[in-house]
Structure 1
Amino acid sequence: MAGFFKSLFQRFTKPNIDWDDLEAALIGGDLGPRLALQIVADLKSRQRTLHGADIVEVAREHVRKILPETIPALDPLPGKPKVLLMVGVNGTGKTTSTAKLAHVLHQRGHKVVLAAADTFRAAAVEQLTVWADRLKIPLVKGPHNCDPAAVCFDGYETALKTQADFLICDTAGRLHTKHNLMEELKKIHRILGRKDETSPHEVWLVVDATTGSNALQQAREFQKAIPLTGLIVTKLDGSGKGGVLVNIQQELGVPTRFIGLGERVEDFQPFDAKRFVEELL
């Protein structure tokens, strides 16, 4: 997103601002119409000569107010595994993010079990198997095309027996417009709740920063199906924007928990709102 704000700074260097152009630029940065209008209204109310630096600073103020100051810690639960359900559409980097999250928790000294619940796409199971072998993390999987809810259930049983701190379930990528696939996700949610009525404890949507406002629509639809507790935003290194995470936080109240900045395991980091705002320019 720093790249977007830098271009905003350079673009509006003249004292006379074209407000329609500015509004369009803010929306183009994936901040969304609602926040763009708020920023423009704020700038207009200041009644003074404005330059690019003023615009960026006001935008930063608004973003700072929307993003939570602190993100909940990802801590284990006493006596039972904490269950994280990873959801999202195809191509967002969900399986890779699942593996990288497992690596982060493993590095923190936690015992992790993975469940390969994307049973319809053999490549996804193979990909997660490679990651699990590389990271030396147990993986639960089933036959091709088996019931993904059953894999998650078996994963919970394994995590419980081995006294694992976390169970991370990688579900199939699904279009948010496909009713039957969203119903399947609800079933997984219900089945996980049979062993522990509070499970899954976290449901994280993985979105691609480069898809812009479409990511917000995805979040809306997934939120209708199952309550989201967090967001993982991938490909922030290739977007130059990232405003969609602000947009989703403002509209749905779903905080960003981790961000992906590249292909390496080290490029997967906990989201730091303060740093994010500071780096806007």
Structure 2
Amino acid sequence: MPRFALKIEYDGAPFAGWQAQADQPSVQGAIEAALARLDPGFAAGARIAAAGRTDAGVHATGQVAHADLARDWDPFRLGEALNWHLKPAPVAILAVARVDEDFHARFSAIERRYLFRLLARRAPATHDRGLVWQVLNPLDADAMRKAAAHLVGLHDFTTFRSSICQAKSPVKTLDEITIEEITRPEGREYRFHLRARSFLHNQVRSIVGTLERVGAGSWSPDRVAKALQARDRAACGPVCPPQGLYLTGAGYAQDPFSPARDGGDVRRDVK
């Protein structure tokens, strides 16, 4: 069966998360329902696999999944057909590529990238409502950067791990945290970019929630280092809400969506 990689964008607000659930809407379920209209294998209950299982309310601009189909589709036409059948769900297929059978969206990934958007202003968010976490007062970005530096590298992240996390080990390598500060109308937006091979459940939201306490002046940057060393969930700051979090991409040894690869790309020109 030919295997296809899908690059996916979605608004997570109406979904109970990525993973298919029997009694609640999911991103995976929406895509599989669209595939079922196109492919006999999915009509019989086949499944797709994704690079990351985002939680309820979490968005994506670069989720990656793979699907094994009975029909050997032209990648461009498959992307167009899926987008048609996904309407009106806030899910879009950005790119489709034919990949080798040993490609796996989850297990072949060598990194994941997340963005968290935090808006600081007193006026309510309008255009970005549901797409950012909003606080009222501006934050100290330099203090947050000093605190974040303590978290980069190989650490036991028990403090920043959900109590229901199913990962075998809390030890992870956080490769990068960068914090942008952007001027917005009557406010400031802080964008937290995090990169690692893999993340623990709620790790990003726990880290950003803790850094916000530093930016607000409630915590010193050194307190973040002490919280990490405590290896105790009780030492963590508040877990921030999901609506500001985005899965922005997954990295692979060879980019399946590179124009240089055979198999095409949904973004190519239509002849």
Q: Give 1 or 2: higher helix fraction.
A: 1
TM-score (norm 2): 0.27
Q: Which has the higher strand share?
A: 2
